[in-house]
Amino acid sequence: MAEAFSESLAYPQVKKRAVASRSFRTKITPSNGSSFKGGNTIHLDLPGNLAGQYYNPNQMYLKFKIQNSVAATQFDRAGAVGCIKRVQIQTAGAQLYDCNNWNVLATALMDTDCSADWKASSGSILVGTQGDQLQGELLGDTDARTYCVPMMLNPLSMTTPHRLIPAFSLSALQFRITLENDIIVGNAGAEVPVFTYSDVEMVCLMTELSPGAQAQIDSMTGGQYNILANSYINSQATLAAGVSSLTANLGISVSSLERILVVHRPSATATAGGAFSLGNRTTSGLTEFQFLINSENYPQRPILVDGKGAESYAELLIADHALVDFRKGNCLLNSFAASAATAVGGVVPVGTGALSGNAPDVVKNDCFAEVDGDGDSAGTAPVAGVAVDSNIGTFLAACEFESGLSDGKSSHIYSGISTIASVVQYKGTYSGAQSAANVDFFAQHTIMISLDMRGSGVYAVSV
With a cut of 80, say whether residue 366 has pLDDT above it: no
Q: Which helix (H) or strand (E) holds 219?
A: helix 211-221
Length of the chain (residues): 463
DSSP-assigned states of every residue in 269-287:
HHT-SSS-TTT-B--TTEE
pTM for this one? 0.91
Could you give the CA distance from residue 62 to residue 177 in angstroms, rounded to a whole number? 10
Radius of gyration of the chain (CA): 24
More confident residue, 6 or 277: 277
With a cut of 80, say whether residue 346 has pLDDT above it: no
Could you give the CA distance from residue 391 to residue 375 in angstroms, rounded to a whole number? 5
pLDDT, tens digit, 9 for 90 and up, residues 99-131: 999 999 999 999 999 988 999 999 999 999 998
More confident residue, 375 or 46: 46
Q: Which helix (H) or strand (E) holds 268?
A: helix 267-270
- Alpha-helical regions (H) of 99-210: 102-113, 116-120, 122-126, 182-185
User: Do the beta carbons of residue 276 and residue 335 sit within 8 Å?
Assistant: no
Residue 277: pLDDT band (50, 70, 90) is very high
Residue 150: partners with Cβ closer than 8 Å, 6 or more residues away: 60, 61, 126
pLDDT, position 339: 52
Exposed (0-12), middle (13-18) or buried (19+): which is 140, by Cβ within 10 Å?
Answer: exposed
3-state helix, strand, coil in the chain (%, to 5): 15, 40, 45
For residue 299, whether the previous peptide bond is cis, meaning omega lies within 30 degrees of 0, is yes
pLDDT, position 415: 76
- Alpha-helical regions (H) of 17-176: 102-113, 116-120, 122-126
Whole-number Cα distances in Å, 177 to 63, 87, 321:
12, 5, 30
